[in-house]
Amino acid sequence: MLRYISRRLLSILLSLFLIITATFFLMRAAPGGPFSGEKKLPPEIEKNLNEYYGLDRPWYEQYTDYLVSIAKWDFGPSFKYKGQTVNDLINEGFPVSFFLGMEALLLAVSLGILLGVIAALNHNKWQDYGAMIFAVLGISVPSFIMASLLQYVLAIKLGMFPVARWESLQHTVLPALALAATPMAFIARLTRSSMLEVLSNDYIRTAKAKGLSKGQITVKHAIRNALLPVVTYLGPLSAAVLTGSFVIEKIFGIPGLGSQFVLSISNRDYTTIMGVTVFYSILLLFSVLLVDIAYGLIDPRIKLAGGKKGE
Amino acid sequence: MEKLLEVKDLQVSFQTYGGEVQAVRGVSFHLNKGETLAIVGESGSGKSVTSQTIMRLIPTPPGKIKSGQIIFNGEDLAKKTDKEMEAIRGKDIGMIFQDPMTSLNPTMKVGHQIMEVLVKHLKMDKAAAKERAIELLRLVGIPFPEKRVNQYPHEFSGGMRQRAMIAVALASNPKLLIADEPTTALDVTIQAQILELMKDLQKKMGTSIIFITHDLGVVANVADRVAVMYAGKIVEMGTVDEIFYDPRHPYTWGLLASMPSLDSDDKSELAAIPGTPPDLTNPPKGDAFAPRNPYAMKIDFELEPPMFKISDTHYAATWLLHPDAPKVEPPEAVKKRLRQLSSNYPQPVIVKESE
Amino acid sequence: MQQLPKEMFQPASVDLSEAEKISKPSLSFWKDVSIRFRKNKLAMFGLVLLILLVFMAIFGPHMTKYDYSTNDLMNTNKPPSAEHWFGTDDLGRDIFTRTWYGARISLFIGLAAALIDLFIGVLWGGIAGFRGGRTDDVMMRIADILWAVPYLLLVILLMVVLGQGLGTMILAMTITGWINMARIVRGQVLQLKSQEYVLAAQTLGANTSRIMFKHLIPNAMGPILVTLTLSIPSAIFTEAFLSYLGLGVPQPLASWGTMASEGVQALQYYPWRLFFPATFICLTIFAFNVVGDGLRDALDPRLRK
């Protein structure tokens, strides 16, 4: 187990190094300096600024500095907000995004599994077709369109929910739903197909031959095994929720890290883009690791020691 | 002898895209208490469907019991609801399947899988069930049962898994055990051990066994009586001696001739039965075996043969037993083992109705 | 019983070799697939939808007298009418024309990204799987590390750096997009390589390229085709997403993504500006998805009866 985790950590560090390096050089290659904004700055001020941000030094020094400061969990200053660091932005925005993301994750997982199980248990009946058409629609609607529609219909037209902002639990419902829609559809489809596969297994017939009731078979033998592939999907799921949050937070005016990131993109705030990208990458890589470890603990067939998944 | 199970004119069909597959086409047999009946046939002969129908395990739809009765312990299982069957499955009838690798739930401890039966049918509490599960594992010859009870199926070898399956099937002391090709997926050496174990347990527990197999060699070891199935019907049925030493149906001849045997000194080749079983979406007219039968007569292509009774226990469905049929010689390999059995009637008698 | 005529008991001349004949006509694999696909109503619906969409993408822009980029400031934000079937946008441009013009761009992005992924993926995965051993290790390790990079983040980053444009968008999408295809191709090749019939072909003396083209490629076609079909909608999806972040194709070019993201802003007052592009994005993604699913189901040999 420990060997597996340390091996995985090593490969995560390698990927991270790659990401940081790529981000660093991409940002340097980006068109226009950080201060080539609307107004031309006087040369002295620009020189001072360059000094302040360390832009006057050779690139390899800047690069190693950047690596060292990231290792110290320091993402550097923001170009656009004077006196603010990227760390400040993360500390401010991330808790909000985290709450919203978790809510969406819970919604997606619970509703998705429910739909998938119902569809599989009623294979080729109307419940199955209904759930799957619902799921295909969920996959077919891009999140920003889904969010705008939910906002327009449920909040503006029907007044059931607040239109925007981040004040009470009520305010979180619509954004969480919009964020959860696509992943939920994926989970429903995944659960359904995995459940159908499990239900066709010999051991389900054995369970039936033992005289267990349909409910007992479903809960004890089928769902548990059917959910294993769903667990592996939790990694990509967190990525989907994270990137989804960019647009959702913007539409609902939520002061999270996602909307901050989008803002920094349109502002071309390179240090913020860079810092938040690295932060997100760390987050995702570690959540994938967590999911893998959890999977190893849940499925007795998998021994994590070798690092290779058993049969 | 008391009958434990009587199957009468059972017909089972499956609805598929290609049409209705008549998998079982009027099967009748019975099983006495403490007896072992082997059902032998090629794949697709309907033997597994028959056994799963007794347990009501065929998925419906697409499967359907078209007609017939399954009298078990005086009750007709064919008429029971799924809910009523739950009280019988695993309690009065236990079942072992072909592939021990896939028949156990891979993510549930072996002990727990045995305990489920005990808790459900014998209303044991968890501690007592675990105690009993360990005992059962010991009974089926698994070493260190205290340790094994907490292990997962993938930590067991193939033979051990089949032993564990037997423990599951016998957990609540069923009256009937259905073993659907229990040794097919195992190594030859393990096969013999499992067969010994089943015979041994049958002696101890007095269970009746239906033993499904395509391997006649296995049959001689375990069965009291044998039913040979072809294309969804029983074509010959009798005691082990009758089937091995006085077979009457050309299909049984074919099966016996294609069976390798150690005591035949021989240079004689193993005979294969040419062709494949018929497509049961459109069962052929007459005798289903006729196109593959070197002894086929014109009537075989016209009329289905009736069941002839050769002795009190021996039945065969072939026109060759008709008084007008020409006398034919069975293949060399079968001829060598033929014996005159004293229980035979002077003449085969046509069975008017399926008994 | 007695009435059975004696001659019925004469031996019939049975030609036992008849018994070895195959009674059912055997269908070729692809014929079988197409039959099963056509039985799938949802997938067929998706296919018809796709054909219609492509037809409209080709001919739609020519059905009106308007141009996709000409402003008409006298007629801004007009609702759908006989003049402008889908209405006009804030610069008075005809939404019908722009929608079908946008279809070209969205479909082009989807197709181009998917085809480039296919090309690199088949090459990379095929070589890795076929050569095996050390080559495979190194190639797949590289793919693994790239795979760990969060996809959309990288695409966003690249778009920021490379600047907006059709080409840069396709480049950004394909830079790690091919890995999925490469993995699938490699998996297929490895699986097929170990199969008896390839071994049989080898013992019969077939050379490598023959094995590759006669056996591996046709058999790996199924999963590749499914992956391809399903990667088109995901590219269209990404395009819409990027457009919403303001990283879409630059004005006055119209893609469904840019039109929809402009429409979102005007949703309260001019809902048709969102409705048309959004509907067609969803329909297209939906159609590709159901066609892909249908293909997968049709190709699944376990369903073969």
pLDDT in tens, C112-170: 999 999 899 888 888 888 777 888 888 888 887 777 777 888 888 888 888 788 888 88
Torsion B299-B300-B301-B303 (CA) sign: positive
Q: Which residue has the higher pLDDT, B162 or A38?
A: B162
Query: Residue B264 — pLDDT band, cuts 50, 70, 90?
Result: low
> Under an 8 A CB cutoff, do B105 and A209 touch?
no
The 3 state secondary structure assigned to chain B is: CCEEEEEEEEEEEEEECCEEEEEEEEEEEEEECCCEEEEECCCCCCHHHHHHHHCCCCCCCCEEEEEEEEEECCEEHHHCCHHHHHCCECCCEEEECCCCCCCCCCCCCHHHHHHHHHHHHCCCCHHHHHHHHHHHHHHCCCCCHHHHCCCCHHHCCHHHHHHHHHHHHHCCCCCEEEEECCCCCCCHHHHHHHHHHHHHHHHHHCCEEEEEECCHHHHHHHCCEEEEEECCEEEEEEEHHHHHHCCCCHHHHHHHHCCCCCCCCCCCCCCCCCCCCCCCCCCCCCCCCHHHCCCCEHHHHCCCCCCEECCCCCEECCHHHCCCCCCCCCCHHHHCCCCCCCCCCCCCEECCCCC
pLDDT of residue B268: 58
Q: Hey, is the C-beta of B331 within 8 angstroms of any chain C C-beta?
A: no
pLDDT of residue A311: 32
Closest partner residue to C11 (CB to CB) among B16, B275, B326 is B326
Q: B120 Cβ partners below 8 Å, 6+ apart? A: A210, A211, A212, A216, B90, B91
Residues of C in contact with A280 (CB under 8 A): 150, 153
Chain C: touching chains (3 or more CB pairs < 8 Å): A, B
Do the Cβ atoms of C180 and C188 come closer than 8 Å?
Answer: no
pTM for the predicted model, two decimal places: 0.80
Residues of C in contact with B286 (CB under 8 A): none
DSSP state of A56: T
Q: Hey, is the C-beta of C161 within 8 angstroms of any chain B C-beta?
A: no
DSSP state of A268: T
Q: Hey, is the C-beta of A171 within 8 angstroms of any chain B C-beta?
A: no
pLDDT of residue A304: 52
> Under an 8 A CB cutoff, do A145 and C282 touch?
yes
> Under an 8 A CB cutoff, do C8 and B299 touch?
yes
Q: Hey, is the C-beta of B345 within 8 angstroms of any chain C C-beta?
A: no
Residue A307 above 50 pLDDT? no
Do the Cβ atoms of A101 and A179 come closer than 8 Å?
Answer: yes
Q: What is the pLDDT of residues C168-214, one digit of tens each?
A: 888 888 888 888 888 888 888 887 777 777 777 777 777 767 776 66
Instruction: Tell me the average pLDDT across A192-218.
Output: 86
Do the Cβ atoms of B339 and B246 come closer than 8 Å?
Answer: yes
Residue B269 above 70 pLDDT? no
Cα separation, A166 vs A260, in Å, equals: 14
Cα separation, B103 vs B162, in Å, equals: 9
Q: What is the pLDDT of residues B172-217, one digit of tens each?
A: 888 888 988 888 777 778 888 888 888 888 888 888 999 898 888 7
Instruction: Tell me the average pLDDT across C261-267.
Output: 78
pLDDT of residue C116: 92
pLDDT of residue C48: 92
- Percent of chain A scored above 70 by pLDDT? 89
Q: A180 Cβ partners below 8 Å, 6+ apart? A: A104, A105, A107, A108, A111, A241
Q: What is the pLDDT of residues B248-263, one digit of tens each?
A: 888 888 888 877 765 5
> Under an 8 A CB cutoff, do A140 and C246 touch?
no
Find which of C50, C137, C149 to mutate to test the A interface (most A CBs within 10 Å of its CB): C149
Do the Cβ atoms of C255 and C99 come closer than 8 Å?
Answer: no
DSSP state of A77: B
Query: Which domains, ranges and CATH numbers included, belong to chain C?
Result: 57-63+87-299 (1.10.3720.10)
Closest partner residue to B322 (CB to CB) among C7, C9, C23 is C9
Q: Which pairing describes strands B3-16 and B233-239: parallel, antiparallel, or unpaired?
A: unpaired
> Under an 8 A CB cutoff, do B103 and A211 touch?
no
> Under an 8 A CB cutoff, do B87 and A211 touch?
yes
Residues of B in contact with A201 (CB under 8 A): 102
Q: Which pairing describes strands B225-230 and B63-72: parallel, antiparallel, or unpaired?
A: unpaired
C197 burial level (CB within 10 Å; 0-12, 13-18, 19+): exposed
> Under an 8 A CB cutoff, do C16 and B292 touch?
yes
pLDDT of residue A111: 92
> Under an 8 A CB cutoff, do C150 and A239 touch?
yes
Q: Hey, is the C-beta of A203 within 8 angstroms of any chain B C-beta?
A: yes
pLDDT of residue C18: 56
Q: Hey, is the C-beta of A221 within 8 angstroms of any chain B C-beta?
A: yes
Q: Which two tokens stand for residue A185?
A: 């559809």
Cα separation, A287 vs A235, in Å, equals: 6
Q: Tell me which residue of C302, C295, C224 sits closest to C33, measured CA to CA.
A: C295
What single-letter amino acid sits at A81?
Y
Query: Residue A309 — pLDDT band, cuts 50, 70, 90?
Result: very low
Closest partner residue to A209 (CB to CB) among B95, B105, B107 is B95
Q: Hey, is the C-beta of C65 within 8 angstroms of any chain B C-beta?
A: no
Residues of B in contact with A225 (CB under 8 A): 105-107
> Under an 8 A CB cutoff, do C12 and B18 touch?
no
Do the Cβ atoms of A142 and C258 come closer than 8 Å?
Answer: no
> Under an 8 A CB cutoff, do C11 and B290 touch?
no
What backbone phi and psi angles, to 5 degrees, belong to A300? -65, -15
pLDDT of residue B60: 77
The least confident of B90-99, B176-185, B296-305 is: B296-305
Of all residues in chain B, the one with the smallest CA distance to A310 is B154
- Interhelix angle for B158-170 vs B188-205, to 10°? 20
CA-CA distances (angstroms) from residue A105 to A109, A136, A150, A231, A240? 6, 19, 18, 12, 10
Of all residues in chain B, the one with the smallest CA distance to C19 is B275
Instruction: Tell me the average pLDDT across A202-231.
Output: 86
Cβ pairs B/C, distance under 8 A: 59
Q: Tell me which residue of B138, B136, B190, B196 sits closest to B162, measured CA to CA.
A: B190
The predicted complex's ipTM stands at 0.81
> Under an 8 A CB cutoff, do B99 and A202 touch?
yes
Q: Tell me which residue of C248, C110, C244, C250 sits closest to A148, measured CA to CA.
A: C244
> Under an 8 A CB cutoff, do B105 and A228 touch?
no
Residue B24 above 80 pLDDT? yes
DSSP state of C88: B
CA-CA distances (angstroms) from residue C210 to A50, C202, C207, C224? 62, 10, 5, 20
Residues of C in contact with A136 (CB under 8 A): 286, 289-290, 293
Which residues in chain B (121-160) have CB-CB distances under 8 A to chain C? none
Map tokens 């010991």 to a residue.
Answer: B138
Distance from first CA to last CA of chain C, Å, rounded?
41
Residues of A in contact with C151 (CB under 8 A): 239
Other CB atoms within a 10 A radius of the CB of residue C158 amount to: 20
Map tokens 């049925």 to a residue.
Answer: B237
Residue B311 above 60 pLDDT? yes
Give A114's Cβ-side CA count (13 Å radius). Answer: 8
Q: What is the pLDDT of residues A147-193, one digit of tens each?
A: 888 888 877 778 777 777 777 777 777 888 888 888 898 888 888 88
Cα separation, A96 vs A25, in Å, equals: 30
Q: C187 Cβ partners below 8 Å, 6+ apart? A: C125, C129
Other CB atoms within a 10 A radius of the CB of residue C138 amount to: 11
Map tokens 């559809």 to a residue.
Answer: A185
Q: Tell me which residue of C177, A138, A209 sits closest to B92, measured CA to CA.
A: A209
Residues of C in contact with A242 (CB under 8 A): 150
Map tokens 């599994």 to a residue.
Answer: A113
Instruction: Tell me the average pLDDT across A113-140.
Output: 85
pLDDT of residue C3: 62
Residue C111 above 50 pLDDT? yes
Beta bridge partners of A66: none
